[in-house]
Amino acid sequence: MKLEILGTGCAKCDKLAENVKATADKLGLDYEMSKVTDLGKIAGYGVMMTPALVVDGEVRISGKLASEAELTEILKAAAD
């Protein structure tokens, strides 16, 4: 599973990355996570507000910090 955190490096972006990693680890998922800070690439996903989470090329969250429950639901669905 490929996870991308889109953002410019703000506190919310870092927190989303931390939460996604913790949730993916808790679920025992096999994943690769990266941070995308290039505004051109972020805009290429159609994202206008960060932070955002992209799972396997699909934007799943944009403009907010997701709760652990939301992240669990998103990552479980993507793993199936």
CB 48 within 8 A of CB 59: no
Q: What is the SS3 assignment for 80?
A: coil
Query: Active-site residue numbers?
Result: 10, 13
Count the Cβ atoms, other than its own, within 10 Å of residue 43.
11
pLDDT of residue 18: 96
Distance of alpha carbon 67 from alpha carbon 73, whole angstroms: 10
Q: Is 36 in a helix, a strand, or coil?
A: strand
pLDDT of residue 9: 86
Query: Domain 2-79 adopts which CATH fold?
Result: Glutaredoxin (3.40.30)
> pLDDT tens, 7-28?
988 899 999 999 999 999 999 9
- Taking only the tens place, the pLDDT of each residue in 17-75 is 999 999 999 999 999 999 999 999 999 999 999 999 999 999 999 999 999 999 999 99
